[in-house]
Amino acid sequence: MKKLNVILVSVVSLFALSCGGGQKQSDNADVVTESPAEAAETSASDNSYDPKKGLGKFDESNVDVSSFNASMAAEGQKIAEVKCTSCHKMTEEKLVGPGWKGVTDKHTPYWIMNFITNPDPMIDKDPELQKQLEICMVRMPNQGLSDEDARKILEYMRQINGAK
């Protein structure tokens, strides 16, 4: 029994570590940054929740998806392989979290960026995320994504869903 507990603790520890990763900041980010806590405070203070925007600083004024950027999507794929694929498949199939296929059809680009940069406040407010939490039984951890990395992951999600 003691050996089983040691194995279980080891597996859980490895899983927790796989969801994190190194954080890389870039000097060429074209989005003004503020911390996730600041974004949540700003959004939470108005007591309204917009299910198309979510909670955070991203909206139609600062997330431009008018054209597809293949190089950004390729970089987003590399980031996702480190931070996301241990919990998400690129199909509709659920792993730990939901699959990514179709996610850009279900949510606006700025909702996705607000969620992946600061998931906790949105999980607490968004009824659809709360339903998803009941299915998945695990809260999405905050991966500490920079705004630029979140934008690259969004472009990769768009590629998965057929953007060209």
Beta bridge partners of residue 10, listed in sequence order: none
Q: Please state the domain count of the chain.
A: 1
pLDDT averages per 10-residue partition of the chain, 164 residues: 50 43 40 46 59 94 96 98 96 95 96 96 94 92 97 97 91
Q: 86, 14 in Cβ contact below 8 A? A: no
Model pTM greater than 0.75? no
Give me the pLDDT at residue 18, please: 45
What is the end-to-end Cα distance of the chain in Å, rounded?
A: 54
Give me the pLDDT at residue 32, please: 43
Domain-embedded: residue 159: no
Task: Using alpha carbons, select from 43, 41, 52 the residue that is nearest to residue 112.
Answer: 52
Domain-embedded: residue 79: no
Give me the pLDDT at residue 1, please: 56
How far is Cα of residue 49 from the mean position of the Cα atoms in its chain?
18
Domain-embedded: residue 19: no
Domain-embedded: residue 12: no
User: How far is it, in rounded angstroms, from Cα 153 to Cα 59?
Assistant: 16
For residue 116, give the CATH number of its domain: 1.10.760.10
Instruction: Print the domain residue range for 141.
Output: 34-67+87-148
Give me the pLDDT at residue 48, please: 82
Domain-embedded: residue 42: yes
